[in-house]
Structure 1
Amino acid sequence: MSQPISALVIMGVAGCGKSSVSEALCQLSGATGIEGDSFHPAANIEKMSAGIPLNDDDRAGWLDSLCAELRRVDATGQRPVLTCSALKLSYRERLRSALPGLGFVFLELTREVAADRVSHRPDHFMPSTLIDSQFATLESPVGEALTLALDASTHSVEQLAAQAHHWWLGHGLKLAS
């Protein structure tokens, strides 16, 4: 077995189901969910709401906040599960630098499915017009260490959470007794 996974990031483009899978996984594993979207500064939300994609500079402070929250939750003895698009390798490396043993569950889906899902999300700041920019930015993590890729187009939230939970158990997850 490779390095034990102490925490997870549920990652992928908008609409892949990060929040739903994270919530279901936390229920299965007793982990603590961290909703990455809630750490975006107002300027990022305004920019995305206006249909303007974020760039690396926009994401820098957000990623720093996520790193700090991962460390904070881990320091309390809880097992964090973070939802974060983590679209680029450099973003994933930044998160890994905050918490060694960080695993990634990549929820893959097609551009068409992502656009359809995002267009049907009420009350979310991310418009479907930004889907193309998400796919343009995405550097697939398939093949990276401590990464599990799952097909989010054909599996239910419960199936995805169960697969992630099983994988995490095989990579060091210790259930509370």
Structure 2
Amino acid sequence: MKKLLQNIKAYQAVFVILTAAVMITIFILSAQDAEKSSDTSSVLTRIAVRLIDRDYDSESPEKQQEIWEKASFIVRKLAHFSIYTALGFFASFSAGKRKLFTLKSLGVIIFGFLYAVSDEFHQNFVKGRSCEFRDMMIDTGGVTTGMIISFVFMGLIFLIARKRKKNTSGQ
């Protein structure tokens, strides 16, 4: 354990804390009952509705309901994907420097998938919420995307550091 702690870099500790913060946020949002969850997403749904159909207010009530339901579905699924993208990004940095196709990278994805499973299981016990396999897959896709984005960032950081080192050693 002592050796493991010695190998953890300061930036990794920061990203472990950020990973935990995202996990806590997900847990809190998942603990909201269906009505509160709907209220939370309705602000973004209103914006989406206006983007989807600029004539929304002049549509028939049936058409408005149809548009609202589609927009609400999209907003909710994008929320799942987005927050799990953040989880994957932070968890990936927590795992440290590595290549994309390694056991550590697979571990980040498995970690995200298992957290998504636990999140959906948790929602099964919340009033008006349900456990959906589709959401687990959306969440896992978000984690994978976040991890890939982190590799882009790591690559850019590496290139900048290498360029600075080359410039300072060449003078």
Structure 2-normalised TM-score? 0.27
The higher radius of gyration belongs to 2
Whichever structure has more helix as a proportion of its residues is 2
Structure 1-normalised TM-score? 0.27
Q: Which has the higher contact order (CA 8 A, sep 6+)?
A: 1
